[in-house]
Structure 1
């Protein structure tokens, strides 16, 4: 089994240290300066870093991690949304929204869900394949290139920007999720990109027992991290489909090397490197 990395906050790391001491688990010398401590005791193999632990995936190691993971006590659901494809000239724009219960948050953490930027691409794709098989409320807004270009032009004609379109997509996913779940208390977390535009799109949402947060570095919240991982997975799959359909490799090809009549079907036309080749 490959190693599993689990993000921990400071209090959980301190709790882990106390647990290791209480259980008299055998410590060995750290191998790098970045390791806070290293445990090697029978089938238990755990390395503690600042902000995360990496373990060998054994049942015994997992039991140690389970003992110190804190469970959400306030909210019935924590919703999160994030996007993929915004910065690439090719492929779709993907916005994913998810709604997680406290138990599902723990399960996602056990599986290694964390900030997607800290996960290697192939590892992220493998993790996402497992995550999409889990049962939890999800909403996907996907704008394939043709639809994206049409929608972008529509917003542009109204004097609006890409951030307006992003705010529309995020709010659409979140509103659909809120219709699907029942809760006493819930929280929505959005990876912050434009507070005013997003707040405007969510202004008609009933906030009774509902907290909506736009947060810089939103992937510190597991719901946002999960949404990001799935969004990137879907984006990569959609790019693979375009590559197969048009017999090109968008990840390695320049817009100049693609027939102008095909560009609107595979590319975001407002990107400068695309626009000059239309």
Structure 2
């Protein structure tokens, strides 16, 4: 039972299907749930408005049994009553964890701060606020665009209403929010179990192919558009009834991207910023990142050295080490040659510097 009488409010919302409720809690920001059994695991994550965050901070300050903590990049953090509560102001995310998380959410956060009863009703709220997510469609995302080492991977996942609900219950979320590789691979297994092989399409461009392709087009976004289009094409060969696709938007040049996709009359293409809030795109992000890490691990085993993710100073150091051990000619086998970090190494400057990457690297 809820601690106050919002059961009827939720029931009414599900019956009348009002316009999406604005604001404070994004359905994509819910906590993880173990597949099939509805048990919560991991932290509970919600998005708060500035006003709600300020109200919560003041409330916890006034409670005598809550201790303030200093957490890197957090605006505030408190610990007490078996719960750790941390707010990251840049993205407005509140992270709650601890054995009494449910009590904190039900009896403090929801009734006193957000005014919305969502705990345990995540799927119902999703159907209210994002009904389109449960319609048959494909979601597309990529991994490796901002990583010097390793391949570029695109993934396309097709969902129907039933499988979308199952993915949501399994805790599928944007891969950038997943804290460990073990959890990433667990969620990838869940995606594959729920969707089946025919509903997942993966395109991987290992470094030699990537570098040859880039040398022809000289544009990362063209290369990425082609890879996404190919992933959707391969999926539609198995599921021709797929007539709607949602792509995590990576460029303002939507018309260029659309040229690499099927005609609109065959399959509608939607390009959306933060599309990973959609369950199909979130599944694609997990499958793409898992495949990226799998290939990177194979490379590390082959060369007996670590290949850092991203494009920062650690990457420049690893590049210099790689060249010393294997020579510059071998670089095309392990990295994306157009990155400035690589170009500096090729030009004899081995000093570690941050690269101006062609995209944002996922932190995984």
TM surpasses 0.5: yes
Which range moved further: 121-130 or 242-251? Answer: 121-130
Residue aligning to 2:190: 130
1:171 paired to 2:229: yes
1:141 paired to 2:203: yes
Residue aligning to 1:19: none
Q: TM-score, normalised by structure 2?
A: 0.57
Residue aligning to 1:58: none
Instruction: Tell me: CA distance 1:35–1:201, structure 2 relative to 1, closer, same or farther (3 Å).
Output: closer
SS of the residue corresponding to residue 156 of structure 2 reads strand
Q: TM-score, normalised by structure 1?
A: 0.73
1:254 paired to 2:312: no
Instruction: Tell me: CA distance 1:9–1:69, structure 2 relative to 1, closer, same or farther (3 Å).
Output: farther
Residue aligning to 2:286: 229
- CA deviation vs aligned residue, 1:126-153 (integer Å, no higher than 9, x gap): 3223323334311111000111111111
Instruction: Tell me: CA distance 1:101–1:247, structure 2 relative to 1, closer, same or farther (3 Å).
Output: same
Point out the structure with the larger strand share: 1
Residue aligning to 2:342: 274
Residue aligning to 2:137: 78
**Is contact 2:133-2:278 (8 Å) kept?**
no
Larger relative contact order, structure 1 or 2 (CA cutoff 8 Å, min sep 6):
1
Instruction: Tell me: CA distance 1:8–1:113, structure 2 relative to 1, closer, same or farther (3 Å).
Output: farther
* Separation (CA, whole Å) in 2 of partners of 1:182 and 1:111: 27
Which range moved further: 141-150 or 168-177? Answer: 168-177
Residue aligning to 1:103: 162
Residue aligning to 1:218: 275
Question: Out of 286, 296, 299, which is 1:242 matched to?
Answer: 299
Residue aligning to 2:213: 151
**Is contact 1:80-1:190 (8 Å) kept?**
yes
Residue aligning to 1:18: none
Residue aligning to 2:239: 181
SS of the residue corresponding to residue 201 of structure 1 reads coil
Who wins on radius of gyration, i.e. which is larger? Answer: 2
Which range moved further: 257-266 or 31-40? Answer: 31-40
Which range moved further: 88-97 or 118-127? Answer: 118-127
* Separation (CA, whole Å) in 2 of partners of 1:89 and 1:31: 36
* Separation (CA, whole Å) in 2 of partners of 1:35 and 1:145: 37
Displacement of 1:8 after TM fit?
8.9
Displacement of 1:243 after TM fit?
0.3
Give aligned pairs, total. 244
Displacement of 1:116 after TM fit?
2.2
**Is contact 2:246-2:275 (8 Å) kept?**
yes
Instruction: Tell me: CA distance 1:87–1:35, structure 2 relative to 1, closer, same or farther (3 Å).
Output: closer
Residue aligning to 1:3: 41
Q: Unaligned regions of 5+ residues in structure 2, if any? A: 1-33, 35-39, 49-80, 88-93, 309-313, 347-364
